[in-house]
Amino acid sequence: MHALEAEVRRCQRCRLARTRTHAVPGEGDYRAVVMFVGEGPGYEEDRQGRPFVGRSGQFLTETLARLGIRREEVYITNVVKCRPPENRDPQPDELEACADYLERQVALINPRIIVTLGRFSMRRWFPNGTITKIHGQVRNIGRGRVAMAMFHPAAALRNPRWREAFEKDMQKLPPLIERARKANAAARRGEALPAGVPHPGDPDYEPAGQAGHPAEMPTENDESASATSAQ
């Protein structure tokens, strides 16, 4: 992972390398059960070279803490590793330039749970969904993993209804983490899973939750002003 992070910091694959201060590979536990995937660095992230350290990053960290989850226990990254100018949306070729980095991060960390934050990271695992309709859903994505789509913390800070949905969806994480840890422990011991502990990789794994109340949610995109502006 250290070699991959160094490669990201030297990256010149797209135009974003010309305007960035620092590339932001990601940070956290390399053995994390949970990986959070956001959009891209904002001002503070570009300045510090770390993901989610601005206002919305503080909100994410505080929300995790209220659930008994330390930031150091998870891994946090973005679909693009350099800040788009003026916090605009990442362009298709920029997303493509970084796609290999994200795939390699997932392969190296091998998380049981991937939480997408915002519509651009959501599209990687929920290509046909809209965030207002599928937030909070947990889906089997193969290889013993599940993915859950969530509003970006910046969007949650802008809109009270989205904040309520974000905090409600986050409450699904602790039981998912507990199940994943039990599954990992059982696998290491070569044992069958304890009764009542579903394995996230099983074909019949049941979603832990459904997508809130889409009829009550606004229909525009969650990041109409770009969530990267306040990570």
134-171 residue pLDDT tens? 999 999 998 889 999 999 999 999 999 999 999 999 99
Mean pLDDT (the chain, rounded): 86
Phi-psi region of 10 (alpha: psi -120 to 50; beta: other; left: phi over 0): alpha
Does residue 202 sit within a domain? no
The Cα-based distances of 27 to 20, 72, 74, 105 in angstroms read: 18, 9, 8, 11
Does residue 8 sit within a domain? yes
- Cβ atoms within 10 Å of 2's Cβ, excluding its own: 8
Strand order in the sheet with 27-28: 27-28, 75-78, 34-38, 113-117, 145-150, 138-142
Q: Give the CATH number of the domain where residue 150 resides.
A: 3.40.470.10
Residue 226 has pLDDT above 80, yes or no: no
Does residue 157 sit within a domain? yes
For the stretch 102-126, what's the b/e string if a residue is b when 16 or more beta carbons lie within 10 angstroms of its beta carbon? beebbeebbbbbbbbbbbbbbbbbb
Which residues span the domain enclosing 109? 2-189
* Mean pLDDT calculated for residue range 60-82: 98
Least confident segment among 63-67, 115-119, 144-148, 188-192: 188-192
Q: What is the pTM of this model?
A: 0.84
Does residue 203 sit within a domain? no
The whole-number pLDDT of residue 198 equals: 45
Torsion of CA 167, 65, 70, 59, to 10 degrees: 60
Does residue 195 sit within a domain? no
Does residue 68 sit within a domain? yes
Angle at 227 between CA 60 and CA 121, to 5 degrees: 80
Number of domains in the chain: 1
The whole-number pLDDT of residue 182 equals: 86
Confidence of residue 94 (pLDDT cuts 50, 70, 90): very high
Distance between CA 141 and CA 165 in Å, rounded?
Answer: 23
Does residue 97 sit within a domain? yes
Does residue 198 sit within a domain? no
